[in-house]
Structure 1
Amino acid sequence: MHVAEKERLPRLSLGEEKNMVTQLLVLNITVYILLYFIKIIYQMEDYGVPAFNRDILGNTRVPADPMLLLQKPWTLITAPFAHLQFWDIFSSGIWLFCFGSLLQNISGHRLVVPLYIFGSLTGFACYLAGMNLVPALQSLAAGNGIMGAGAGVMALAVGVTVLAPNNRVFPLLVKGGLPVWVITLIYLALNAVAVFSSGASYAYLFFLAGGALMGYLFMASFKKGRNWGNGINNLFFHISHVFHPKSGKEAGKNESAGTSTAFRAGTSPAPFIKVGGPTVSEQKVNEILDKINEAGMQSLTAEEKETLLRASKEKSGEF
C-alpha cells in the first residue's frame, strides 16, 4: 500500500493521533468504566441505586423534559458517551468500530467525530420531540432520559452507506465481499429486533431515527462539496493547540479547510508529483483512489496499478 493510502487509512492503534475511531471507542469505554465503579461505590456506601440514578445518571443522560434539559445542558455532551450496561457498550463498540472504520478508510479521519456528534444531537432532539409530542409517550416523559452511542453509530452507518453503498468488505468470508449497504441492513434489523423484543420504549426508535436522518443529510451535503464538520474540526484543533507554536496552528487550519481526498468538489489539485522520470498528475492519483473506494483494488487496470506504484516510490523518497 503506498504512502498516500496510508495517510488516508489510519490503523486501529492507541498511539495513532488521526484514528478517530479508536479515540471514540476509548472515550466510550472510559465513561462506562467510570460509571460502573461509581455505582459500586454508591452500593458499598449504602447510598443505593436510587441515589446513584438521581445524583449521577440524572446529570449524565439527556432528560425527556425540555425544561429540565435547559437546567442541565451539559448532558448533551456527556450522554453520547455514557453507557451503564455491558451489552450496550459492547454492541455499540462493535458497530462503532465497524462503521467508523469503514468511513475512516473511505474518506479519512475528519468526518468520523463530527458525524457522530451531529448524529447524537439530532437523535436527542428527535427523542425529545417524540416523548413530548406523541400522546402515547407523553405520560412516560417525567423522570425519563436517554444516553448512549445509538444515534451517533446510526449516523455513521447511514452516512457511510450514502457515501459508498457498494464498497465491499469481508472478502475472505464472502466471495467478492459484502456491500456496505448489506451490513447496514443487518444493523438496522438487529436494532429493530432489540427494541421490539426487549419491550424498550418506542421513544428509542425516535432516537435512532434522528441519527439516521443526520447521517443521510450530512453525507448528501458532503458529496456536494459542503463539509458540515469543518467547524467542529477547527474548534477541536484550536483547543488542542492552544499552547502550540503559531506555525503548527496555521498548518492545521490549512489541513481542516479542505474536504476528503476521496470526494473533492471545486478544488484545484497540485499540478504534478514527480516520480523519478515521468510526472504523475496528483489528480490522476486521486481519481484512481476514488475508483478503489467505489469498486475495490480488483477494478484497477495494470496501468493504474503501475501509476500507484510509481507514486508510492516517490512518496517514500520524500520522507
Structure 2
Amino acid sequence: MHTLEKTKMSGLSLGAGKNMVTQLLVINLTVFIFLLFTKVIYQMENVGVPQFYTDIMSYLRVPSDPGLALRRPWTVLSAIFTHIEVLPVFTNMVWLWCFGSMLQHLAGYLRILPLYIFGGVVGNIFYVLGMQFIPGFQAIAGGAGAMGAAGSVMAIAIGATIIAPKYRIFPLLAGGGIPLWIITAIYLVLNIGSHFTSTGGVVFLPMLVGGGLAGWVYMSQWKKGNDLGGGFNRVSFKLSHMFHPAAEQKLPTELQEHAAATDDAEPPYKRVGKVPEQRLNEILDKINANGITSLTPEEKETLVRASNPEN
C-alpha cells in the first residue's frame, strides 16, 4: 500500500482559506452564471444569441483564426475560466475537483493555481497552432473558438499522476483501493473519446495534448526540486496583500525563495510523548503548502505520535 494512503485527504470546504481547488471552482462557476445570465438578458431583450457571442464571447474565447488570436492574446488566459454550456462546465468542474483535490493533498495548494493557468495557456496555444498547421481544422471549426478548463484539468490530472501514480483512493475497497493511474486512464478514455465522437470535437485534441504536456513538465520539474510556479506565487501574494498591514505583507515561509528547512531559533522537538501543539501546527501548515510528500521522516513520525491517543 502506498504510504500516502494512511493520511486523510482534505475535504472540499468553502471555509478553507488555502483550498485553492475550492477557489477555482467558485471562480469558474461564478463566471459561468454571470455569462449565462447575460445570455438570457440578450434573449429577453430580443437582441439575439448571435449578438451575445459577437459582443462578449468573441473576446473571451480563443479564436480559431490564428491571426485574430494574435490580435487578442488575452484570450489564451480568459478562455480557461469561460464556460457557457452546462455539460462542459459540469464535467470540467467534477474532474477538477477529483484530480485537483488529490494534487493539493500530495503536493500542496501552492501547485494548483500556477499549474491550472500554465496548463490552460499552453493548451490554448496548442489549439491555435493546430488551427494553423493541421489541414482541415479551420473548416471543421467553422469560425468558432475554444473555451473552457479542459486543458487546465488535463494538466492537473497528468501532474498528479506523474508524482504519485500508485496513490490509492477509496483504500477500504477490496485490494486496497483504486490506483490513481487507473482513474487517469478512465479520464483520458472518456475525455478523448468524447472529442472524437462529438461534431467538430477533434479540433480540441491539440489543446488536451498541450495541457497534458504542460502538466508533465511542471510536476516533473517539481519532483526535481524546481518549482516553476514559485515566482508566480510570490508575485500573487504581494499583489493580493498590497493594501494589507505591513506585518501581513511579509512572505510566509513556504513562499520564500530559499526557505530554510529548520529554524535554528526554535528549540528542537525531541519529546517522545504528547506532541506540542505548535509543532503539530507547523507540520500541518507544511502539508497544506507543499503536500504530504514534503515531510521528513521525523515529521511523519511526529504525526503518528500525535494521532496516537495513548501518548
1:274 aligns with 2:265: no
- Matched residue SS, 1:251: coil
1:256 aligns with 2:251: no
Q: Aligned-pair distance for 1:245?
A: 2.3
Alignment of 1:141-152 (within 5 A): 143-152=143-152
1:36-65 Cα distance to aligned partner (Å, 9 max, x none): 111100011111111011111111101122
- The gaps in structure 2 that reach 5 residues or longer are 1-7
Amino acid at match of 2:89: I
Distance 1:135 1:233, change over 3 A: same
Q: Aligned-pair distance for 1:248?
A: 1.9
Aligned length: 285
Alignment of 1:5-20 (within 5 A): 10-20=10-20
Alignment of 1:103-142 (within 5 A): 103-140=103-140
Report if the CA contact (8 A) 1:127-1:204 is conserved: yes
Partner of 1:186: 186
Report if the CA contact (8 A) 2:141-2:200 is conserved: no
Amino acid at match of 1:155: A
Distance 1:309 1:66, change over 3 A: same
Distance 1:41 1:305, change over 3 A: closer
- Matched residue SS, 1:110: helix
Q: Aligned-pair distance for 1:214?
A: 0.3
1:78 aligns with 2:78: yes
Report if the CA contact (8 A) 1:123-1:208 is conserved: yes
Q: Aligned-pair distance for 1:144?
A: 2.4
1:94-122 Cα distance to aligned partner (Å, 9 max, x none): 10000000000111100001001000001
Report if the CA contact (8 A) 1:238-1:249 is conserved: yes
- The gaps in structure 1 that reach 5 residues or longer are 1-7, 260-265, 295-299, 314-319
Distance 1:305 1:229, change over 3 A: closer
Partner of 1:227: 227
Alignment of 1:1-319 (within 5 A): 10-140=10-140, 143-252=143-252, 254-257=253-256, 268-270=261-263, 273-274=268-269, 276=271, 307-310=302-305
Q: Which portions of structure 1, spanning 4 or more consecutive aligned residues, are displaced by more than 3 angstroms?
A: 8-11, 138-142, 172-175, 266-273, 275-280, 303-307, 309-313
Partner of 1:316: none
The 1-side partners of 2:206 and 2:300 are apart by: 46
Amino acid at match of 1:193: G
**Mean alpha-carbon deviation: is it higher for 267-276 or for 240-249?**
267-276
Amino acid at match of 1:310: R
